[in-house]
Amino acid sequence: MQARAGACRITAYAIGGVMAATQELRLIQVADLHLGAGREHHLDNWRKVRAWAARERPDLAVVNGDMIMSDPDTESDHAFARAEVDRIGIPCRFLPGNHDIGDNVLFGKMAQRVNTERLERFRRHYGEDRWTFSAAGWVFVGFNAQLFGSGGLPEEAEQWGWLERTLNAAKGKPTALFTHKPLFLDHPGEADHEDLTLRQSCVDAASRTRLLGMAHACGVRLISTGHKHQTRTFSLE
């Protein structure tokens, strides 16, 4: 099920247990909240999400990036967004978006590059920028798409090593991946776009190829993302 409240989108998954017929995890992904302290931008959208969650009572929310409105260095926006998300009343797992920690493609008004300082700020407010857990017979893996093509940040190499170990350990189990940016726009074989607006819209081609190779070897069944403020569904063999 998908529902949209302005930019903020809910994607709901009922993950059926593969180990026992009675197991199920009712998980939602919410992304692109774009909340800001002292501003009403998108706050009404978020209130609708909270009302939906209060009715449906899912078990867990993956908050998949762009919690704040604009500047990743605005501490008050991060504090406000975290306080608002906590009001949803269910456990949450967070992942960063370009508005939260900066980007790996720089253009226009969002010209802040992801760096260690911004990563540390994210972790102070929301916890780790990558995580894994098991439930209902599945393995769930969340990772930081903003690190791909970061220009040599040590955190990027650390995350690649962690992804390899995590996905190798998950082989033979149904696995779902969560990250902020889509891996591609229209086709997994597409080259990097020359237009910076399009290039910023998804993971770079080299990182995508590497990640999809790891996902295929592991047997990943689901990849769920945010960022584009659109609904797109792809099925890949």
pLDDT at 145: 95
**236 assigned to some structural domain:** no
Q: What is the mean pLDDT of residues 229-233?
A: 59
Percent of the chain with pLDDT strictly greater than 90: 57
Count of structural domains within the chain: 1
Here the tokens at position 48 are: 């609708």
pLDDT-derived band of residue 13, with 50, 70 and 90 as boundaries?
low
Does residue 216 have a pLDDT over 70?
Answer: yes
Q: Cα separation of 47 and 42, whole Å?
A: 9
Does residue 41 have a pLDDT over 50?
Answer: yes
pTM attached to this predicted model:
0.86
**235 assigned to some structural domain:** no
Please check whether residue 171 is in contact with residue 217, taking contact to mean a CB–CB distance below 8 angstroms.
yes
Does residue 22 have a pLDDT over 50?
Answer: no
Number of separate helices (H) and strands (E) present in the chain: 7, 9
pLDDT at 184: 74
**232 assigned to some structural domain:** no
Does residue 65 have a pLDDT over 80?
Answer: yes
Question: H or E stretch including 177?
Answer: strand 175-178
Question: Could you tell me which of 82, 85, 84, 156 has the C-alpha nearest to residue 119?
Answer: 156
Does residue 78 have a pLDDT over 80?
Answer: yes
pLDDT at 183: 85
Residue range(s) defining the domain that contains residue 24: 2-224
Q: What is the pLDDT of residues 159-210, one digit of tens each?
A: 999 999 999 999 999 999 999 998 876 677 777 777 666 667 778 889 999 9
Q: What is the pLDDT of residues 105-159, one digit of tens each?
A: 666 666 788 999 999 999 999 999 999 999 988 999 999 999 998 888 999 999 9
Q: For the chain, where are the alpha helices, taking DSSP H only?
A: 43-56, 75-86, 98-101, 116-126, 154-169, 196-199, 205-218
**144 assigned to some structural domain:** yes
**194 assigned to some structural domain:** yes
Residue 208 sits in a domain of what CATH number? 3.60.21.10
Q: Cα separation of 32 and 79, whole Å?
A: 16
Higher pLDDT, 210 or 5: 210
pLDDT-derived band of residue 2, with 50, 70 and 90 as boundaries?
very low
Does residue 40 have a pLDDT over 90?
Answer: no
DSSP 230: S
pLDDT at 16: 52
